[in-house]
Amino acid sequence: MPGTCVVGLQWGDEAKGKIVDLLGDGFDYVVRYNGGANAGHTVVVHGKTFKLSLLPTGVIRPNVTSVIGNGVVVYPPKFIEEVGTLKAGGIDLGDALKLSDHAHVIFPYHMEEERLAESGGEGKIGTTGRGIGPCYQDKVGRRFGIRVGELLRPDHLREKLRFVVPFKNRLMKVYANGHADQLAPMSADAIADQYLGYADALRPHVTDTARLLHEAFAAGKHVLFEAAQGSLLDVDHGTYPYVTSSSSLPSGIWGGTGVPAKNIQRTIGVVKAYTTRVGKGPFPTELDDATGERIRKIGREYGTVTGRPRRVGWFDALSVRYTAALAGADEITVMLLDVLSGLPELKLCTAYDIDGERTTHFPSDAYQLERCTPVYETTPGWTDDLTAARKLTDLPAAARRYIDRVGELVGLPVSVVSVGPDRAQTILTK
C-alpha cells in the first residue's frame, strides 16, 4: 500500500521503532511527522543497539529515504549528534536523510523556559525538559517561532533573534519568581553565531519535504509514517493536560507532513502486552507493588531519552480500544510479551468503576480518569521462556490465549507478536 502509518496506542514507549524497522524493507520513505528529541526509539540489529530520539527509525535501513517532516520540532545539536553516531556505527546517511525547511527549531531559551516552568510545585506536567512544549508554543503563537529554513539566511536569523531573545529574557525573569538575579541574560548574537554553525551541518539535508513526498506518491513510491509518543499523549485526544504538545495520532500526518489523509491506506497500532507511562497523570491499572517492579526490571522500563523509570501496569483494553478507534487502526502488534513470562497470573482491564457506575468506555479527561477503578479479568500466566519462539505454535497455550484475548478485547486482529528486542525475535501471525 502506498501510505502506511505505525502509531503507538498507549502512553508511548510501545516499541514502535522495532515495527518500523521490520517494515522498512518494503518502503521507499520513512517519515517522522510529530514530536522532537523526546521520542526515544531503540532498535537492535544483529546484536547492535541503536538509540534514536529525533531521527526516524528508518535511517537504520539501507535504500530508504528518511524524512523529518514540518510537524517535528528540531534541536540541531541532537540532529548532528545522531547523524554522527550512526556514521560511527557504519551508517552513512548521505542524501538519504531529508529535513523539512518548515520544521521549527528549538533554541536554548526554550529549554530554560521549560526548566523554570517545571521547577515550581504546582502545575507540573512532567516533561522531558527538551524545550519541546515551549517551541510548539512559539510555533502556534507565530511571533517568535523560527523555522529550519531561516537558519540558512544569516542576516535574517540575526535580526529575528534580536527581536525574540530580549522578550525571552524578560519572560525568564517572570518564571524565575523572585530569583531573577540568578539568571544570566541570553545573547541574541551569541545564539545566532552558535546556530549558524549548526546550519552548515544541516544544510545538505534541508528541503521542501511536502513537495518531496507529493512527488514520491505521484511516482508510486511506498511511504511509511512513524508516529512519535503514543496516542494517549495526543494534544487533542489524550489525557489532557498530561499530554505532549503535538498530534501523535495519524491525524497529525496531514498537518505534520502535508500529505493528505487519503494517501494513508493502512494503520498499524502498536501496544505493549502490559501498559507503561512516564511522567504525571492518571493511570488506572498502575502496579505500585512487587509485580510492577518485576515487570519494570525485566522489561528494562527506563526512558530511552531521559532514563526515568516508567510507571508500569496491567494491559488496559478500554484505553487501547479508544485510541484504536481514533487512529483508524486496521491491526495491532503486541510487543514485549516475553516480559510477562514467570508470572502465575495476568490481569486485563475490561471495565472501570467510576462514581458507583460501571463503564466500558475510556474517559480521556484526566479528572474523570483519576476517579476510575479498574475492573479486571484474570488469566493464567506461563513459565516458559518465549525469546526463542518464531511462530505461534512455539508459544505455550496460556500465552496464545492471552494474545487472542487482547485482540478480542480491542476488536482488531493481532498481526505481530514480539518476544525480544532483536529483529529475529518476532512472530508474524499472517
Binding site for GTP: residue ranges? 12-18, 40-42, 310, 336-338, 418-420
Question: Is the Cβ–Cβ distance between 419 and 412 less than 8 Å?
Answer: no
First to last CA, the chain: 16
Question: Is the Cβ–Cβ distance between 373 and 352 less than 8 Å?
Answer: yes
Residue 227 identity: A
Q: Which residues sit in the known binding site for IMP?
A: 13-16, 38-41, 128, 142, 229, 244, 308
Q: Which residues sit in the known binding site?
A: 12-18, 38-42, 128, 142, 229, 244, 304-310, 336-338, 418-420
Please say if 104 is a catalytic residue.
no
Choosing from 98, 102, 110, 139, the catalytic residue is 139
Q: Which residues sit in the known binding site for Mg(2+)?
A: 13, 40
Q: Pairing mode, if any, of strands 3-8 and 223-230?
A: parallel
Please say if 13 is a catalytic residue.
yes
Report the distance separating Cα 14 and Cα 21, nearest Å. Answer: 14
Report the distance separating Cα 313 and Cα 296, nearest Å. Answer: 9
**Measured between alpha carbons, how far is residue 255 from residues 4, 34, 73, 101, 424 in Å?**
16, 9, 13, 14, 35
Helix, coil or strand: residue 161: helix
Choosing from 41, 78, 102, 104, the catalytic residue is 41
Report the distance separating Cα 325 and Cα 72, nearest Å. Answer: 24
Residue 165 identity: V
Q: Indicate which residues carry an active-site annotation.
A: 13, 41, 139
